[in-house]
Amino acid sequence: MIKKVAAIHDLSGVGRCSLTVILPTLSVMGIEVCPVPTAILSTHTGGFGDVEMRDLTDYTIPALEHYKRLGIRFDCIYSGFLASTAQVDHCLEFLSTYGDALKVVDPVMADHGKPYKTCTPQLRHRMKDLAAAADVITPNLTEAAILLGEDPSYTPKTHADVKSMLARLSALGPDTVVITSVYTGDEAYNAGYDKNANKYWKVAYKPISAAYPGTGDVFASVLTGSLLSGDSLPIAMSRASDFLELAIMTTFSYNADVREGIMLERCLSHLTHDIVSGYELL
């Protein structure tokens, strides 16, 4: 059977992020995506000036009610960029309605030590409630610090610091935590924790000196698709890291406008093969 994911994210017209990358990524992995848009934006909020945005807060619950009337089943509820604090409650309603689904929360709020323009202090505060209700969370380092009530620019110095962050995030509720874009010593990696197995994982990647928007969304999508296909956490992390490394290397080689995100169209076919280059215990 084809797995079905309700993806509660925004739709940004230009800049390859959120639903425009989630849909093709999960589709090519053989998973059906049912988008539940939280907002429509002309571009993402990272560098295109005055964005045209429509908040769809009044849409989420009526859409859920319709799915309930139809008896639609979802194997996974996957939330990301939210436009209002009310949408935190709407996501919680989705999660409690589909209690058996895999609950993936990507707490999209910030990056590189700074919150995104639209992410208010209230929304940052409430995102913790959503993370607490998840099975899997995929914050980047800045979002991880925010969820833990630390300074958004906090950077861990050692593996022990990273493991402490992972354990404290898991203590909020989720059994599986993956922190992306961690840098300690001279190594860049994605770090994961599986509470049930009590194991910490590290998947290293080659860093590139350009920060493309939407990479967190692609990472969380590949991870979700992989977990839904039955992969273990280190394999899922490895597939997501390897794919991102390939997509970023490809995009960088063309000297493309960073704001436009990664050249997914050139790389998606790689997701049809198993690419697992390696993982280590953290």
- Residues in the site for ligand PXL, rule: CB under 6 A? 10, 12, 17-18, 41, 44-46, 81, 108, 116, 213-214, 216-217
**Is 173 or 216 the residue whose CB approaches ligand PXL more closely?**
216
Q: How far apart are CA 51 and CA 41, in angstroms?
A: 7
Instruction: Answer for the pair 91, 107: CB distance below 8 angstroms, yes or no.
Output: no
Give the count of alpha carbons within 13 A of 7, CB side only: 27
**Is 224 or 234 the residue whose CB approaches ligand PXL more closely?**
224
Work out how close the CB of 42 gets to ligand PXL at its nearest, in angstroms, rounded to a whole number: 10
**Is 81 or 94 the residue whose CB approaches ligand PXL more closely?**
81
**Is 46 or 139 the residue whose CB approaches ligand PXL more closely?**
46
Work out how close the CB of 45 gets to ligand PXL at its nearest, in angstroms, rounded to a whole number: 3
Structure tokens at 141: 């380092």
**Is 17 or 203 the residue whose CB approaches ligand PXL more closely?**
17
Q: What are the start-end ranges of the E strands in 123-282?
A: 136-137, 176-184, 187-194, 199-205, 280-281
Q: How far apart are CA 270 and CA 278, in angstroms?
A: 17
Work out how close the CB of 119 gets to ligand PXL at its nearest, in angstroms, rounded to a whole number: 9
Q: How far apart are CA 24 and CA 159, in angstroms?
A: 34
CA-closest candidate to residue 135, choices 55, 196, 182, 217: 196
CA-closest candidate to residue 201, choices 171, 230, 240, 153: 240
Work out how close the CB of 12 gets to ligand PXL at its nearest, in angstroms, rounded to a whole number: 5
Work out how close the CB of 17 gets to ligand PXL at its nearest, in angstroms, rounded to a whole number: 4
